[in-house]
Amino acid sequence: MNAQCKLVGLWLLGLVLFAQTGFCEEAQVAGLGAVTTRRVVVFGDSITAGYGLERSQAFPAVLQRKIEQEKLPFEIVGAGVSGDTTAGGLRRIAWVLGPGAAVCVIALGGNDGLRGIPPEETAANLGGIIRLIRSKCPTAVVILAGMRMPENYGAPYTQAFEALFPKVAAENGTPLVPFLLEGVGGIPEMNQADLIHPTEEGQIKVAENVWKVLHPLLLSLKQGK
């Protein structure tokens, strides 16, 4: 077998082993060494991806800088896809977690609301994402970020939409960021011209909202609690 064939064989073996371990366990692949980095996967849509900004300005990158400032042994993985819905997230979550995932922040649902998707459907998808994460990564901690819709969507829909996030969090025993866009949503100077996507300053505020829940969790994980 030539060198190229050996490399292809190792790559295929790696895929099989990662699939068997759920992409989260520390795996020894063909003598390449174990995965030791503890990752925080931020799973979301265009807000997570930093639409209209440099990747370094998106809130996952801001969280990474906060982690580095405190010398915490974690690495942020930004997994945002513009336009993604909870249904899309449910389809791709298993391939996004990556080896060494210790925490997964779910920041999805905004596009569901903008499209008028029934709240019960969004809730079912979020519950499915949480269950799939736990089946693949039993030790990973899941954080759910809440979202709200503008008032022009009508009181019945906006109230049902806002209520689904704490309900899903309570049913699944996950910490909740009450509102991902607290201090950003509906504030023109914190958003780009489309009034949907945060500016750099808005992304910093989003990071602060997530950090309030994530920070104590990382401190606890660092101490092995």
Inter-axis angle of helices 119-136 and 86-96, nearest 10: 10
d(CA 143, CA 212): 12
Alpha helices in 102-154 (DSSP H): 110-114, 119-136
Exposed e or buried b per residue across 137-159, where buried means at least 16 C-beta atoms within 10 angstroms of its C-beta: beebbbbbbbbbbeeeeeeeebe
How far apart, in Å, do the first and last CA atoms of the chain sit? Answer: 48
d(CA 70, CA 73): 9
d(CA 50, CA 152): 25
d(CA 188, CA 184): 8
- Residues taking part in catalysis: 46, 194, 197
Go through the chain and tell me how many residues it has. 225
Q: Could you tell me the sign of the dihedral formed by the alpha carbons of 17, 32, 103, 197, in that order?
A: negative
